[in-house]
Amino acid sequence: MVLSPALLSPLHRFPVLWCSYRPLLRAARTAPLDEHHRLAIEQYIKREFRQWRSLRTVNKVKPKLREAEELLHQLESTSHSSVHLERMRELADHLILLHAKKPTHVVKPRQVPRPAPSIIRATAFNPPMQRMRPQPIKTTMMIFDRRRASQRRYDKQAIAKEFVEMASEEERIERAAGVREPRYQAMPTTRVADEWRGWIRTAQKQEQREYKRRDMRISPELYATVRGLRRSIAQKKSAAGQARRQEAQLAAERAGGAESE
């Protein structure tokens, strides 16, 4: 769903930041509560606003803003209202208990890339290769670095062409005005233009390598490897399905025998 234009406007974001979020944090830090209570409420406010950022419609944002307004009123009233003070203590105790019940974050082990039964087609930045899942970081960075180098070369080539045109135009003007030195009259181009022309030729050779890489065909050996992997996966699935059916059949036979007894 596309974000509503009203939520993208600074007329919405700035008032929420300056009139809701920051006052809430300030009130939570200065409330007459214990240190661990203040910290729990502050973390709760940050967590809630971080989750609200994913809301995409005005109808969903309005109730959240009303809740923030009510919480701000209660936090600011803790200095002179015992009812609100006790309510904030109960909220903080609930948040602390809720956070304690949540399981600690478990770092998942890094997955080892395994061959997948598919092929990555050739592009200007990679030859045809067997797909790995998850894709190795080395492969990802190779493609990324080649894309970035190609883009930098393209940008520099456009600048080089402009410099060559400027140098050639300057040469034509000098020839027409007759102000060029006699020893340079026989030179077809200026030195600056020749330097940039040489760089352009080098860049074009690099582009030719990219075109050759893009036109590379998938080898029969790679096709055979992928087909063999597909057959192996299909055989494993078939064997697993057959084992499940046998287990279900044995369970049904045991249940039938128990009923007959």
| pLDDT tens for each residue of 31-68 | 888 888 999 999 898 888 888 877 777 788 888 888 88
Q: Is residue 259 part of a domain?
A: no
Q: What percent of the chain has pLDDT over 90?
A: 23
pLDDT at 230 over 90: yes
Question: What predicted TM-score, i.e. pTM, was given to this entire model?
Answer: 0.48
Residues 149 and 125: their CA atoms lie apart, in Å, by 10
Structural contact between residues 193 and 167, judged by C-beta atoms closer than 8 angstroms:
yes
pLDDT at 92 over 80: yes
Q: Looking at 70, 101, 132, which one is the last position of a domain?
A: 101
Q: Looking at 45, 79, 101, which one is the last position of a domain?
A: 101
Residue 204 sits in the same domain as residue 179: yes
Which pLDDT score, from 0 to 100, does residue 21 have? 85
- Report how many domains make up the chain: 2
Q: pLDDT for 205-222, tens place per residue?
A: 888 888 899 999 999 999
Residue 118 sits in the same domain as residue 52: no
pLDDT at 168 over 50: yes
What is the token pair recorded at 74?
């209660």
Residue 52 sits in the same domain as residue 152: no
Residue 89's domain comprises: 5-101
Structural contact between residues 7 and 61, judged by C-beta atoms closer than 8 angstroms:
yes
Residue 146 sits in the same domain as residue 62: no
pLDDT band at 107 (very low <50, low <70, confident <90, very high): low
pLDDT at 225 over 90: yes
Q: Is residue 109 part of a domain?
A: no
Q: pLDDT for 138-165, tens place per residue?
A: 999 999 999 999 888 888 888 888 888 8
Residue 84 sits in the same domain as residue 129: no
Residues 55 and 48: their CA atoms lie apart, in Å, by 11
Q: Looking at 38, 70, 101, which one is the last position of a domain?
A: 101
Residue 91 sits in the same domain as residue 142: no
Q: Is residue 239 part of a domain?
A: no
| Identity of residue 124 | A
Unique residue bearing structure tokens 């007329």: 11
Q: Is omega for the bond preceding 127 within 30 degrees of 0, making it cis? A: no
